[in-house]
Structure 1
Amino acid sequence: MAKEFVRLCGEVGNFSERITGVSIVDAYFGPEDLDPKRQNENKDAEVLIHDLDEFIDTLGEIDEPIRRKYLQAEAESMKMTVKWLAGLETNYSNIVRTMFNIEPKKFSKGIIDAQLSEVEAALEPFPGVDLAEKASLFTKEGEVRGKALRDFIDNELQSKSSDVGQLFKERIYSLIGRDVTDNGVKYNCVTDKPWSGYNYFQGNYTSVNEFNVDRPMNTDSALAVVYHEYEHHVSNLWRERAYHEEGFVELSIVPLHTGRCVISEGTADTARDFLGVKDSSDKVKAYDALYKLRRMISINSAIMLNLEKKSIDETVQYNVERGLRSEGAARSGLAFISPETRDGKVNIWSPYVFTYYIGRTDFVYPIFSKAKEQGELDKFYQTLYLNPFSGSSATWKESFSWL
C-alpha cells in the first residue's frame, strides 16, 4: 500500500510536469525502483483518478487513524490536482478547498485597513512624507542586486544558515530528546523563477536553498527568510529519519499541493517563534507588519485573478495601493499566483499562496502558543517532528488533541 502511494505520486508528478513543466513531487529519497522518474509518464487523467480511487479504497486496512487519514487526504488532494490540470475542475475555490483542506476567503476591507494601521504605526519612526513613501523607503533600505546580491547569498546567508541549524539543535532537538542527522544546506543563486526562495530537499539529510536573483533583495528580510527555509530542511530531516528507521516508505516522497503543504509553510513561518528568536527593534516590527499585510494582499490577489477573473493591471494597482508595493514588485509578485505562466501554460503555483498565512495563523501558531503556555513544548515538538503524519491540515488538530 505504501509503495502504491509512492508510485501514484510519481505518476501524478509526471502528469503535472507534462502539462505545466513542473512536477508536484517536491523531493524523493526512497527506493530506486519507486523513483518518480521510473514511473509511467503517459497515463491520462481518467486512469490516474481511477487508480487514486482504488488506492483510497484500500486504506481501511491501516489500523493507525492518523496515518490513514493523512494518506487519504494526500490522495484526495492529488485527485484534485489531476482534475484541475486536465480541465475537469475549473472552480478555483473548490480546487483550493480540496487540495489543502482549507476555506479560501478574501480578507475584508476592514481587516486590511486594520493591518495597514499596524503598518503605519510600525513605520512611524522611519522617514517619508506619507505611508506609501515610508514603505517604499523602508523596503529599499538595505536592498542589494546583481553581484552584491550573489555575494550576499554565497557568504552571509550561507553562514546564517549554519547558525540557525545550531539553534535548532540547542533549542528544539534538546526538547525532543533525540537528534537527527543534518548534512547541511547549500545556497545557490538562480534566475527566471516565480518565487524568491525555495528549499529543495535532496535526501541524504541535505538540502539546496535557491534564491532568485532576478529581483533585488532586502538583506534584513532575506536573513529572516533563512529561518523559514531552514525549518523546511529540518522537517524533511525528521521525515527522512522516519522513513529509514521506521520503514514508512510513503514518507520517502514529498508531494506538493496537499494538506501537508499547509503545515509545512505554517511551521516554516513560525520558525523564529520556535527558536525563541526575539528582536523588538523598530526595523523588525516594521518588517513583520509589512510581511503580514503582503501575505493578506497576496491571498486577495490570487482570488481576484483566479476566481473573479480580474485583469493583471487591476490586480497590480490593488497591490500598489493596498499592499504598499512598487509597480515593478507587484507585477513580479503576481507571477506566482497568476492562472497562467508567461508561455501560456497552467501555472502550477496559482493555488499555493494560501498555505503560508493560513498555515501559520489558523493551524501552527495557535497550537504552538497553547503548548508554550501549558509547558508542553517538548511534547509539541515530539508530535510535530517524530510523527510526520501529524503534518497535514487534515490531521493536525487530531494529532494535537492531547493539548
Structure 2
Amino acid sequence: MRRLLSLASLLFALLIGGSPALAKPTGLDAVAEGYVKLVLSVGEHEEGYVDAYYGPAEWAAAAKADKRTLPELSAEADRLIAAAQASVPGKPGSLEARRKAFLIAHLGAVKFRIAMIGGAKSSFEDEAQALFAVRPSLKPLAAYDPVLARVEALVPGEGPLSDRVEAFKSRYIIPKDRLDAVMRAAIAECRTRTKAHISLPDKEAFTLEFVTGKSWSGYNWYKGGATSLIQVNTDLPIFVDRAVDLGCHEGYPGHHTHNVLLEDRLVKRRGWIEFEVYPLFSPLSLIAEGEGNFGIDLAFPGEERTAFEAKVLYPLAGLDPASAPAYGQLRETMKALAGARMTIAQLYLDGKIDRETAITLTQKYSLVSRARAEQSVRFTENYRSYVINYGLGQDMVGAYVTAAGPGQDARWKRMEKVLSEPTLPSDLQD
C-alpha cells in the first residue's frame, strides 16, 4: 500500500479481520484526498491549472474519465471546506493546525477559480485576495518616477530611457552557443550555496531544457521523486544576470528546492497528500514566487552576486568581467521598479487602460524593449492577478526571513521553515 499506517491502526485492522489497504482516510486526511481529486477535476476544465501532480495515476485518470460539471465541483468544494472547518486541529500554531488552515484557504481558492472558469468577473484586488490570500496595496505609477531619475543618471544620453537601458544591457547578452554552459554554472552555484544551509535528499536532480513560444522567461515543472524539469525560454536574448536569477528562482533555493522539501517533509514523512498536487492559482503560489525571488538575494547577499558573475559567468559568456560592477549597479537600482508591473496589470485588467497603453507603460517603468513589454503584457493576459506573487511575494517573504536577524544562518533557517511547512501568506505576517 502507498502509505504506512500506524502500528495501532495496522493491529486493529488485522484483529477485526480486515485489510489495512481498505482503511479509508478520516478527518483532514479525507479532506486532503478530496482536495487532490477536486484540483485534478478542475484541471480538466482549465489547461495549466494543475502545475504539478505526482500522486496516484489512477486519480488523474478518473478525473479525466469522469468530467464533473463546474456546479458539481463548486458544491464539492463547499462540502470539503465544511468538513475541514469541522475537523479538530492540533494546538494553535502547531503544524496540524496550520495544515487545517492551509486546506481551507486552498479549497476557497479552488472554489473561486471554478467561478472564474465559469465566467465570473472580479476586480484585480478582489481576484488576488480570493486566489492568493492577500490583498495587494498598489502604488501609483508616479511613485516610481524618482527611481527612473536614478536610472537616468546611470544611463545618460538622448532618446527614451528604455531604449538607452536596452542598448546598455545588449552588451551583456549571453551568446546562444554559450547559454547552456552559463546556465549550468549558475544553477550549480545556486545549488552549492543552498545545500550549505539546507539538507536535500541525495537523489534530488533537475533536467535543463531550452524552449520557445512562451509568455514566461523560465519555468519549473516538478515531477515528484525530488526531480524537476527547468525550462528557459529563448524567444528573446538572455542577459548574463538572468542566469543567477533563473538558477535561484527555478532551482535553488527556489521552486525545485521548495517542492523537494514539501515532498520529503510533508508527503513522505507525514503522509499529507495534499502536497502531491499544486494548483497554480492558489495561496501557495505567493509563497513559491516570493521565496523564488527573495532566494536570489539570500543566496548571493551584498556584492557576492556581482563578484561571482564576474569571476565565473562573464568568462563563460565571453563578456568582459571588468564591466560587471556597472551592470550590477544598474540591476540593483532597477529593482525598485518591480512594483510598477502590478500597478500596470491592475489598470489593464480592470479596464482603465487599453493594451497599447499597457505596453507603453511597461516599456517606461520596466525599462524594456517593446518586444519584452509585449511578452510581459501577454503574461498578464494569461495569468492575470498572478503577477502580484512576484513583487508582493518577494517583499513578504523577504521581510519575514530578514526578521530572523542579521546573520545568514538564522535567515536560511527561517527560509527552510517557509519552504518545508504548510505556509500561508498570513504566516509571514506573524
**What is the TM-score of this pair, normalised by structure 2?**
0.79
Residue in structure 2 matched with residue 8 of structure 1 by the alignment: 38
Q: Indicate whether 1:112 and 2:144 are aligned.
A: yes
Evaluate the alpha carbon distance shift between residue 44 and residue 268 of structure 1 in structure 2; reply closer, same or farther with a 3 A threshold: same
Partner of 2:385: 351
Q: Which residue of 1 aligns with 2:77?
A: 52
Distance across 2 between alignment mates of 1:114 and 1:271: 27
1:368 to 401, 405, 419: 401
Matches of 2:124 and 2:68, distance apart in 1? 24
| Structure 2: distance between partners of 1:303 and 1:72 | 27
**What count of residue pairs does the alignment treat as equivalent?**
367
Give 2:168's aligned residue.
138
- Which amino acid letter does the alignment assign opposite residue 271 of structure 2? G
Task: Supply the distance in 2 between the matched residues of 1:132 and 1:254 (Cα, whole angstroms).
Answer: 37
Asked if 1:32 is matched to 2:75, the reply is no
2:327 maps to 1:283 = yes
Question: Which residue, 182, 201, 209 being the options, matches 1:156?
Answer: 182
**Structure 2 unaligned blocks of 5 or more:** 1-29, 90-95, 307-324
- Find 2:126's aligned residue among 94, 98, 104: 94
What's the offset of the Cα at 1:55? 0.3
1:343 aligned residue: none
Seen in structure 2, the aligned counterparts of structure 1 residues 209 and 220 have a Cα distance that, compared at 3 Å, is same
Report the residue type matching 2:111 in the other structure.
K
State the partner residue of 1:72.
104
Deviation at 1:112, TM superposition (A): 1.1
Aligned ranges 1:3-402 → 2 under 5 Å: 3-17=33-47, 22=48, 24-34=49-59, 36-40=60-64, 42-59=67-84, 60-63=86-89, 64-121=96-153, 124=154, 126=155, 128-129=157-158, 131-144=161-174, 148-149=175-176, 151-170=177-196, 172-173=197-198, 178-230=199-251, 231-242=254-265, 243-279=267-303, 281-293=325-337, 295-338=338-381, 347=382, 349-361=383-395, 363-373=396-406, 376-377=410-411, 379-387=413-421, 389-390=422-423, 392-397=424-429, 401=430
Once the two structures are superposed, residues 361-385 of structure 1 have per-residue CA deviations (whole angstroms, 9 ceiling, x without a partner) of 1x11111111023874365144223
CA contact (8 A) 1:227 1:271 kept: yes
What is the distance in 2 between the residues matched to 1:370 and 1:395? 13
The Cα shift of 1:318 comes to 1.5
Letter in 1 for 2:118: A
Q: Which runs of 5+ in 1 are unaligned?
A: 339-346
1:344 alignment counterpart: none
Task: Check whether the contact 1:49–1:82 (CA below 8 A) recurs between aligned residues.
Answer: yes
The letter of the residue matching 1:224 is: D
How far the C-alpha of 1:188 sits from its partner, in A, is 0.7
Is contact 2:210–2:233 with CA below 8 Å preserved after alignment? yes
Provide the rounded CA distance (Å) in 1 between the counterparts of 2:347 and 2:419.
36
Please identify, of 103-112 and 7-16, the stretch whose mean Cα deviation from structure 2 is larger.
103-112
Distance (Å, rounded) in 1 between the aligned partners of 2:145 and 2:402:
26
Partner of 2:22: none
In 1, distance between residues paired with 2:203 and 2:296? 19
Secondary structure of the residue that 2:223 maps to in structure 1? strand
Q: Is the 8 A contact 1:128 1:137 kept in 2?
A: no
User: 2: distance between equivalents of 1:75 and 1:44?
Assistant: 17
What code does the residue aligned with 1:78 have?
V
Answer yes or no: is the 8 Å Cα contact 1:319–1:325 preserved in 2. Answer: yes
The structure with the largest alpha-carbon Rg is: 2
Distance 1:103 1:115, change over 3 A: farther
1:44-89 CA deviation, whole Å, 9 max, x = no partner?
Answer: 2211111001000011314132111111111111111111121123
Q: What SS does the aligned partner of 1:337 have?
A: helix
In 1, the alpha carbon distance for the partners of 2:219 and 2:276 equals 19
Change (3 A) 1:25 1:181: farther
Q: Post-superposition shift, 1:37?
A: 4.2
| CA displacement 1:105-154 (0-9 Å, x = unmatched) | 43214421132234335xx2x5644644431222222224xxx42x3342
AA paired with 1:252? E
Indicate the SS of the match to 1:15.
coil
Contact 1:119/1:289 (8 A) holds in 2:
yes
Contact 2:190 2:244 in 1 (8 A): no
Larger deviation: 314-323 or 210-219? 314-323
TM-score (norm 1): 0.84
Kindly indicate whether the alpha-carbon contact (under 8 Å) linking 1:29 and 1:240 is maintained by their aligned counterparts in 2.
no
- Identical aligned pairs, as a percentage? 22
Which one-letter code corresponds to 1:215 in the other structure?
L
